């Protein structure tokens, strides 16, 4: 989105959407082992839930509902990080780099939602 000064405005809805998309791209190239199937299912759910709950928060009917949804966003971002850490990459350097990028993004999203909650 563009603000009146012409610079790009921070868009958390877009950022959470991109996170969920990148998680799905990552999952597609993982080694096909049973633990990855199970952990990937959970990871896909939690990563998508971050953005979905943020959209719900923006459409909330009350301040209480808004903050409850933001707390769910934070919880789902933390859960995504957990599942990312469990995924088996067979020590493939490219997969390890991709995982680290996603873990860092999940951590940043957790901090962002945490800072919104603190302002409650």
In-domain check, residue 40: yes
pTM above 0.85, yes or no: yes
> Using one digit for the tens of pLDDT, what is the confidence trace for 76-103?
999 999 999 999 999 999 999 999 999 9
**For the chain, what is the domain count?**
1
> Using one digit for the tens of pLDDT, what is the confidence trace for 6-26?
434 469 999 999 999 999 999
Q: Which two tokens stand for residue 115?
A: 């800072």
For 69-93, letters b (16+ CB in 10 Å) and e give bbbbbbbbbbbbbebbeebebeeee
Report the distance separating Cα 87 and Cα 72, nearest Å. Answer: 23
In-domain check, residue 89: yes
Report the distance separating Cα 51 and Cα 19, nearest Å. Answer: 8
What CATH number did the domain enclosing 71 receive? 1.20.1440.60
In-domain check, residue 3: no
Domain residue limits at 50: 13-19+36-118
> Using one digit for the tens of pLDDT, what is the confidence trace for 45-71?
999 999 999 999 999 999 999 999 999
In-domain check, residue 67: yes
């Amino acid at each position: 989105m563009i603000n009146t000064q012409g610079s790009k405005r921070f868009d958390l809805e877009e950022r959470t959407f991109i996170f969920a998309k990148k998680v799905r791209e990552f999952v597609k190239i993982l080694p096909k082992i049973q633990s990855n199937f199970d952990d990937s299912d959970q990871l896909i759910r939690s990563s998508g839930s971050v953005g979905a709950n943020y959209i719900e928060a923006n459409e909330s009917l009350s301040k209480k509902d808004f903050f409850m949804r933001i707390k769910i966003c934070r919880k789902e971002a933390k859960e995504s990080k957990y599942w990312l850490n469990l995924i088996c990459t067979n020590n493939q350097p490219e997969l390890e780099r991709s995982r680290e990028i996603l873990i860092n993004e999940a951590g940043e999203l957790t901090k962002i939602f945490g800072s919104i909650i603190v302002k409650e």
